[in-house]
Structures are given as C-alpha cells and as structure tokens.
Amino acid sequence: MEQNKKSTLAAVLVIFISLVLLGIFKYQQNAYDQKLQKAQTELATEQKALKQAKKQEQRKLQEKAATGTAAQQDSAKQAKAENEASTQAAKLFKILFTYSSQADWAARSAQAKSLVTDTILNDKTYFNDGKDNTGNSIIDTMKLQSSFISADTRVSLINEEANTVDCVSVVKYAAQYGSERSATTTVVYTSTYDLNQQKFTKLQKLGTTMVDATTDQ
C-alpha cells in the first residue's frame, strides 16, 4: 500500500513538473513570437521610411534643378541624366537579350523603337530577321534562348553642347542552346544617349569579357 502511494506521488510529481516546463516553454515561445513580430513590424516600417526618403531626395533634386543655385542645378541635372540613361540602358539590353523563339526575336525591334534611333534600329548587328540564307529561323532551328540578367551602366558628365552622355554598360545574360547547359555571358558596350530625344544614338559592342557555365537548368 505504501509502495502504491509512493508510485502515485511520483507520477503526480512528474506530471506537475511536465506542466510547469510546458508552461515555461509556452511563455518563452510567446515572448519570442512577440519579439519576432515586433522586429518584423519595425523592419517594415524602416523599409517604408527608406522608400519615402528616396522619393523625397529625388523630389529635392528636382526642386534644386528648378530653383537652386547654378552649382545645385548642374548637380541635379547630372544626377537626373545618369538615372535616365542607366534606366533606359537596362530596358534596351533586356529587350536585346530576352528571347526564346523566332517570334520573340522579331518583336525586339518594335519593343526597342522608343529607346534607340533609326540608325541603331537598322543596324543588323543588333536587329536582324534571325534567319539564315535559306530563310529558316536560326533561333528555332538551334533552339536558342537568352535571358537578361543585369546591366551595370556608368555615365559620363553631360556634353552640354550636344546635351548627350556617353555610357559604358556591363551586361550579363544567360544563353542556352537546345539541351545544352546555359551559360552566363558578360559583355561590355559603349553607347551615347541623347537627352533631348531620350534615345540612344550610338551603340557599340566592345567584346565579351567572361563566359561562366552554370548548373543544369
């Protein structure tokens, strides 16, 4: 009888300790969840504030361009030109290096029309029909695919007389031939961007600097 009492007491004690530990665990878990939620809320708030700050800074630059001193106006004008040229360059190279069919290839010229002058648009180096001498599609026959990755563009000081900027762009894209593994290619281009026309007037490929094979797709 005494042994049964001891066993029962031990069992009750184990259950009690387990409940206490469970309570502690739940308390700690709740505290952790609250801290995590607070951190996520603070992060979201900071990201929102940063986004707003960027907008305000851009607005200040625009205001300085209109009402600031000559030096401030020049600085704001240069910043605007750099942002515009690099943004337009990214759009252009994305068009040039995004295709997976003959239809995609043929559509590039229409997509790039608002970004380049007719001189570039008629340059077969960049915009051609994508067909061989027999009239067959090289893209479809060889199953060529290309995916734009990025374009890092550096912009010169504004040529005040011509109102243009010269650019150097390091472009990365992934090309694939049929079932072969895709490869990331890095190519360097120089270009001239006309701030009046808001178009590129010159485009020249300097060469391929690197080709890296990637993992199987």
Domain made up of 68-213: CATH architecture? Roll (3.10)
Residue 215's pLDDT is what? 47
> What does the DSSP assignment read for the chain?
-HHHHHHHHHHHHHHHHHHHHHHHHHHHHHHHHHHHHHHHHHHHHHHHHHHHHHHHHHHHHHHHHHHS-HHHHHHHHHHHHHHHHHHHHHHHHHHHT-BSSHHHHHHHHHHHTTTB-HHHHT-TTTS---B-TTS-BHHHHHTEEEEEEEEEEEE---BTTTTEEEEEEEEEEEEEETTSPPEEEEEEEEEEEETTTTEEEEEEEEEEEEEEE----
What is the per-residue pLDDT for 183?
Answer: 84
Output the pLDDT for position 117.
Answer: 98
Q: So what's the pLDDT on residue 48?
A: 74
pLDDT at 2: 54
Taking the chain (217 residues) in consecutive chunks of 10 residues, what is each chunk's mean pLDDT?
Answer: 57 57 60 61 66 68 62 84 97 97 96 98 95 91 93 96 97 86 89 98 89 55
pTM: 0.66
Q: What does the domain layout of the chain look like in residue ranges?
A: 68-213
